[in-house]
Amino acid sequence: MSTETKNYEPGMHPALPPPANSVGPVRWMRDNLFSSASNTFLTLLGVYLVYLILPPFVQWAFIDSVVLGAESRKECLAIMGEDRGACWSFVYRRWGQFVYGFYPMEERWRVNVAFILTAITIAVVLIEKLRANKQILIAGVLLPVASYFLIVGGSFGLVDVPTNKMGGILLTLIVGLSGIFVSLPISIMLALSRISKLPIFSIMATIFIEFIRGVPLITLLFIASTLLSYFLPPGSNFDLLLRVLIMVTIFSAAYIAEVIRGGLAAIPTGQYEAADALGLSYWQSMRLIILPQALKISIPGIVGSFIGLFKDTTLVVIIGLLDPLGIGMAAISTTEWAGLSTELYVFIGLFFFIFCFGMSRYSMHLEKKLHTGHNN
Amino acid sequence: MANNNDKPAIVIAGMHKWYGDFHVLRDINLEVKKGERIVVCGPSGSGKSTMIRCINRLEEHQQGQIIVDGIELTNDIKKIDEVRREVGMCFQHFNLFPHLTILENCTLAPIWVRGTPKKEAEELAMHFLEKVKIPDQAMKYPGQLSGGQQQRVAIARSLCMKPRTILFDEPTSALDPEMIKEVLDVMVELAEEGMTMICVTHEMGFARKVADRVIFMDAGQIVEENTPAEFFDNPQNERTQLFLSQILH
């Protein structure tokens, strides 16, 4: 360490770079990993745990695994010699069911096209450069309508496919994505109603939100599948998938409404007053001033609810709809694949993780992008 | 011009306001001529801010009349919006919109309230940003500006609506001392151009320099009303004398 000090005139001290030993990777490790005896112990323990878990998993999942060859669990075992690796052949052979459920084989192209259209819609909604162009935005928002007609059929010369044939990833995406896209605007209206000065709106929104939040989603799904038929006029045929969609949507809308209400409460009254003082109408000030800020604050909570909704779609298995988990559970109870289970759960876990992690990263990106140096 | 100036900009007659049971404003009577500059001062809690916030209906009065540019303020939302279009306001804490750039802060109301085309609104905004001497900050966000700069943007934002009257609610109270002057300079310039202004402020130098009239409020009432010279040098009311002795060291 150098102890030399130069003398500067008062007020003339220049800005100097930090001393060399206060930056760099070695310094970082010393500060963050080995700063004390207990910290060092925890670091080593963490490394040891990773060592215990990771290599055997890699061995099982990648090195000893059978990916394509086998037609059944027996063949898998024959190829491996003993039960030591993953039998991914199961996922490979059942891929069609995992993705499309029981959608008719010769009509699956329609689902593929719908997937592509949906991917475009999501890209348009998420990527600002695309969204900025009005025509692209309108096209992007109209594509889901096309997807709907493609998947359901019954018009434009397409064969009608009943909704009970839809399953697997297709079902998860239908329920998850339409739930997400429809629940957001509903939740905004609910939140605004709840804080409205007009008691009729606020009381109705409060009752709705508290009722929906106070009931487990499974109960709502049961109501959708059974109880609702009692209330509907006899003979009316109200599609089960549609009923489930409505329940999932209002369930997540109630949660998101509360998240957004929190965001609205965080906006200083000065913002409302400035908007009023400029002569903006209620809807203008909401749309241009209040909601953009409130939604920005609420992003982590909203995306958290979206992720919850997406994962909760697995609950539809209880009322007989076959999401990927349902398809998989049915598959491992067949004679060919009996005895498999880890592969199924790892695969389903990975599928959900990819989607949820994607949403989570996008939300972090959005938060960063929308940060304008102000903390309200 | 003389004919036009006959009609007062603002008339407040026998106005009362309550917060619940608390009688905040008591029998306020005030007439502001066009082009007149009025400074309102008084101890905190005396109702100064509440009074000027009634003029653009950020607060509701319960009794009496407020007439702005010939329009009486009632519960009629159309009339409230009409008044707000013609009356600008600058707040103690600026209340700029943090998610919009400086330029967008200024063009928002002309575009959405007046229906000005975007390009025209931007030219207008740049004109007023130049007037408050920060055209180079147009593309920044409020969070990146100093307090004094933000308050000047807030002034430009209200000017973009071409108001006939501007209300200032303690515009320099939240500023660091070295930034007060830059804001006051802009306000003096506005005053010299003949803008009708009502300023709640403790800047007595500013009051002396530009005010036509100084109004002193205490306990929800207008206690004294005079020209700056008379007001400062020869205060009549006991409470005014006490107040002045406390702020003029």
- The domain limits of chain A are 25-91, 94-101+169-370, 104-160
* Nearest neighbour of B112 by CB, restricted to A270, A276, A288: A288
Q: Looking at beta carbons, which pairs linking A268-275 to residues 24 or more positions away fall under 8 Å?
A: A268/A376, A268/B93, A268/B95, A270/B91, A270/B93, A270/B95, A271/B95, A271/B97, A273/B58, A273/B91, A273/B95, A274/B89, A274/B91, A274/B95, A274/B96, A274/B97
Give the pLDDT mean for A312-329.
Answer: 87
At B4-38, the pLDDT tens digits run: 556 889 999 999 999 999 999 999 999 999 999 99
**pLDDT at A4 > cutoff 60:** no
Q: Give the one of B97, B113, B157 whose C-beta lies nearest to A279's C-beta.
A: B113
Please report, to the nearest 10 degrees, the dihedral formed by the alpha carbons of residues B70, B72, B77, B82 taken in order. 20
| β-pairing verdict for B165-169 and B87-90 | parallel
Which residues, 6 or more positions from A54, have their beta carbon under 8 angstroms from its beta carbon?
Answer: none
A·B CB contacts under 8 A = 72
Considering only CB atoms, B108 lies closest to which of A273, A281, A288, namely A288
Contact at CB, B95 and A268, closer than 8 angstroms:
yes
Cα B231 to Cα B199: distance, rounded to the nearest angstrom: 16
Task: Please tell me the distance in Å from A242's CA to the nearest CA on chain B.
Answer: 38
Q: What ipTM was assigned to the predicted interfaces of this complex?
A: 0.91
Contacts A297 to B, Cβ<8 Å = none
Mean model confidence pLDDT for chain B: 91
Nearest CA in chain B to A297: B99
Average pLDDT over residues B162-187: 92
Residues of B in contact with A276 (CB under 8 A): 56, 58, 84
Could you name the CATH architecture of A94-101+169-370?
Orthogonal Bundle (1.10)
Half-sphere exposure of A17 (CA within 13 A, CB side): 5
Which residues are B25's β-sheet partners?
Answer: B17
| Region class of B168: left (phi > 0), else alpha (psi between -120 and 50), else beta | beta
Contact A277/B at CB under 8 A = yes
DSSP-derived secondary structure letter, B223: E
Residue A263: is its pLDDT beyond 60? Answer: yes
Q: List Cα–Cα distances, B125 to A329, A344, B165, in angstroms.
A: 64, 61, 18
pLDDT tens track for B48-71: 999 999 999 999 999 999 999 989
- State the pLDDT at residue B2: 44
What residue type is assigned to position B229 of the chain?
A
**Tokens 């010769």 map to which residue?**
A106
Partner residue facing B84 (CB), from A279, A293, A375: A279
Q: What is the pLDDT of residues A107-140, one digit of tens each?
A: 888 889 999 999 988 888 888 888 888 888 888 8
Contact B109 A279 (CB under 8 A): yes
Does residue A88 have a pLDDT over 90? no
Tokens (6 digits) for A199? 């008691």
Q: Which residues of chain B does A296 touch, with a Cβ-Cβ cutoff of 8 Å?
A: 99
Q: Is A197 on the interface with B (CB under 8 A)?
A: no
pLDDT tens profile A174-187: 999 999 989 999 99
CA distance linking residue A87 with residue A70, whole number of Å: 8
| Yes or no, beta carbons of B88 and A296 under 8 Å apart | no
Whole-number Å distance between alpha carbons of A291 and A267? 9
State the CB neighbour count (10 A cutoff) for residue B106: 29
- Which helix (H) or strand (E) segment is B225 a member of? strand B221-226
Contact list, A373 vs chain B (CB under 8 Å)? 98, 141, 143-144
Residue A73 to residue A364: CA distance in whole angstroms: 42
Interface of A with B in 209-268 (CB under 8 A): 268
Say if A270 is an interface residue toward chain B (CB within 8 Å). Answer: yes
- Whether chain B has a CB inside 8 Å of the CB on A56: the answer is no
Q: Considering only CA atoms, which of B14, B46, B41 is closest in space to residue B216?
A: B41
Residues of chain A found within 8 Å of residue B144, distances taken between Cβ atoms: 372-373
In a 10 Å sphere around its CB, with 0-12 CB exposed, 13-18 middle and 19+ buried, how is residue A21 labelled?
exposed
Give contacts of A274 with chain B, Cβ < 8 Å: 89, 91, 95-97
Band of residue A9 on the pLDDT scale cut at 50, 70, 90:
confident
CA angle B229, B230, B234 (to 5 degrees): 120
Extended strands (E) in B52-195: 63-68, 71-72, 87-90, 165-169
**Burial level of B23, CB count in 10 A (0-12/13-18/19+)?**
middle
Q: Cα Rg for chain B, rounded, in angstroms?
A: 18
d(CA B9, CA A364): 51
Instruction: Name the token pair of A298.
Output: 């609420």
Cβ contact A179:A250 at 8 Å: no
| Band of residue B91 on the pLDDT scale cut at 50, 70, 90 | very high
CB-based contact B95 A270, cutoff 8 Å: yes
Pick B58's closest partner by Cβ from A268, A276, A376.
A276
Q: Show the tokens assigned to B74.
A: 């009632």
Work out the minimum CA distance from B147 to partner chain A, whole angstroms: 13
Q: A155-159, A214-218, A232-236: lowest mean pLDDT where?
A: A232-236
What are the angstrom distances between the C-alpha of A319 and each of A220, A309, A345, B60, B193?
Answer: 11, 17, 20, 55, 74
- Which position has the token pair 């609910």? A190
Of B89, B93, B143, the CB nearest to A374: B143
Contacting residues of A for B56, CB less than 8 Å apart? 276-277
pLDDT value of position B75: 84
What does the block give as tokens for A376? 């309200």
CA distances to A177, B72, B87, B239 from B113, in Å: 36, 20, 13, 43
Percent of chain B residues past pLDDT 70, beyond the cut = 97
The tens digit of pLDDT for each residue in A16-60 reads 888 777 778 888 888 888 888 899 999 999 999 999 999 989 988
Residues A59, A315 contacting (CB under 8 angstroms): no
Residue B202, SS3 per DSSP = coil
Cβ neighbour number for residue B114 with a 10 Å cutoff: 15
Nearest-5° Cα angle at A75, A72 to A80: 130
Q: Which helix (H) or strand (E) holds B102?
A: helix B102-109
Chain A CB contacts of B106 under 8 Å are none
A38 touches chain B (CB under 8 A): no
Which one has a higher pLDDT value, A199 or A133? A199
- With an 8 Å Cβ cutoff, are B97 and A274 in contact? yes
